[in-house]
Amino acid sequence: VVDLDICNKVELSKFIKISKPDVVINLAAQAGVRLPLNQSYKYVDSNLVGFTNILTESVENKIRYFLYASSSSVYGDKAAIPYSETESNLHPTSFYGATKLANELLTPTLIKNSGTSARALRFFTVYGPWGRPDMAYFRMIANVISGSEFNFYGDGSIERDFTYIEDAVNSIIALMDELQTREPSYSDVVNLGGGRPLSMNYLLETVGEITNKKVLFNRFEANSSDAKKTMSNSNYIQSLIGTKPKIKLEDGIAETIKWAQRKDISEKLDKWVKSVK
């Protein structure tokens, strides 16, 4: 484990030259859609400058395979449901989603005529133990366990295609292996989701039922950057690796709650929640 800012091209270049990886999997990003306008530079730094640094260093150092995190946010609200990788009507509703779409547009141009093959992973709401404390499921669980403040945006009708972390990791590994059958300069995008959208209200009920406690929250107006519904068309990922994310939200949330109830974790939940907006 090396603590390294991907925006620092000099240090990143040194690291790649020393480590000489066979594969680069870039999951580094400024995630989320709620940063205020005056902090938009964080998306630019991590998702555009940092991303370009990692990709160009991979190409220049002849790294054969490059996989990177994209997002269901690239689809916006105008794409047909379920979201398919062949969809061309992509209009992200957030600056974050726009930077992820930019990654997908930049990559084929930068690996053209190189020895590097690339694959974008369009993640659909990944959750689970050690997840991001800015996400709703994390804050709901922290609320019932440690009394942390939870702000609920909108009426809870928006739907998300939730993907448990174990499914996400196993899919990344399998898609990495599959990419190694492709020729140099190959590039594609893959939806990484199970195709079972559920509402935020259902998520709220699920956390309450499993913990036998009511989630307390402050209600706010819906965020205009939030897509109304996400749903993955999983045909392509199944054709590549023979499976798709399958762990049900109810089971994944139960496992996440078990993790959050550990003494070494529960005593940190409030601090983690307060560390991000």
φ, ψ of residue 148 in degrees (nearest 5): -65, 150
Contact 273, 140 (CB under 8 A): no
Q: Which two tokens stand for residue 200?
A: 């935020």
Q: Which two tokens stand for residue 22?
A: 């066979």
Could you give the residue numbers annotated as active site? 96
Distance, CA of 160 to CA of 156 (rounded, Å): 11
State the residue for tokens 């938009």. 40
The alpha carbon of 101 is separated from its chain's Cα centroid by a whole number of angstroms, namely: 13
Asked if residue 36 has a cis previous peptide bond (ω within 30° of 0), the answer is no
CA angle centred on 84, ends 41 and 26, rounded to 5°: 40
Distance, CA of 238 to CA of 194 (rounded, Å): 10
Residues 6+ apart with CB under 8 A from 124: 72, 160, 161, 162, 163, 191, 192, 193, 194, 230, 232, 245
Find the helix packing angle between 200-211 and 136-146, rounded to 10°.
30
**Would residue 89 be called left, alpha or beta, if left means φ above 0 and alpha means ψ between -120 and 50 degrees?**
beta
Distance, CA of 250 to CA of 233 (rounded, Å): 21
